[in-house]
Amino acid sequence: MPEIKRHIWLCADDYGISESVNAAIRDLIVHRRINATSVMTPAPHFDRAEVASLKMLNADVRRAAIGLHLTLTGPFKPLSADFAPLREGAFLPLKETMRAAFRKQFQHQALMIEIASQLRAFVTAFGRPPDFIDGHQHVHLLPQVRDAVLAVVTEVAPHAWVRQCGSAAPLSRRLFDRKGLYIGWLSRALRRRARELGVRTNPAFAGTYDFTSGADYAELFPKFLDGLPDGGLIMCHPGKVDDELTRLDTLTTLREREYAYFNGEEFPRVLAAKGVALA
């Protein structure tokens, strides 16, 4: 049997976005195919029943870390009363959210209140702070937002770690991953400020790819493991498609490909061949 050289986090984002996504994530946790998920507290299927079903999986033995998936983009709506800017009561689309952050158009106190509101919703639902915090569409890395996130974490959830998205993949591969390069660049400022505040971050990150119809996840996943150190994190988005998911997100059928891959027999063989186990 190959020696286990590294333990990693394999985190399914977007718990709460739809019933079918939630069910797929729980199924993978039960079968020990993933070991973390992050929860969208403003999402329509973050409710008592869905939370109870997720909590139950850690009742007898801890199967997964559970984090907060900070959500600041449309079509989702804020939990706080005075967040701005909005469009028809919902957060702005991603590109406009990015533009507002780089132009420093968010009011710091309003950001702090919304982040704290989402965090309090998590604590109320789970009875404890999250194990970690990350961001839907990586919003937690943006200027203004990252400072507010880290400030709230130090006050409300000092033992939580925050996802940074700097890659440890070989440079030759990173150069062809524009999304990964961009969020890696954004992560530099987050890591620097986190060190100053004593907030923990993951040592490295992987899992980005172009969400195009031709993406072959079975071919992509083994490459995510290359260079990933012990304690590194791979982001994933497994799920099943339903009407609610289609209404809320453009990432649909690729979720089913990821789900099928993690449920298949090739996935554990790849981990074993590379000396990797889930943390």
Give one DSSP letter per residue of 75-98, joined into a string: TS--SSSS--S-BTTBPPPHHHHH
Residue with tokens 């997100």: 249
SS percent in the chain: helix, strand, coil, step 5: 45, 15, 40
Whole-number pLDDT of residue 128:
97
Whole-number pLDDT of residue 1:
55
Whole-number pLDDT of residue 2:
64
| Cβ atoms of residues 91 and 73 within 8 Å | yes
- Could you say which residues of the chain have pLDDT below 70? 1-2, 170-172, 174-175
**DSSP label at 67?**
E
Whole-number pLDDT of residue 172:
67
pTM assigned to the model: 0.95
- Residues whose CB falls within 8 Å of the CB of residue 171, separated by 6 or more in sequence, listed in order: none
The helix (H) or strand (E) run that includes residue 272 is helix 266-273
**CA–CA separation, 73 and 205 (whole Å):** 22
Helices (H), 58-144: 94-102, 108-126
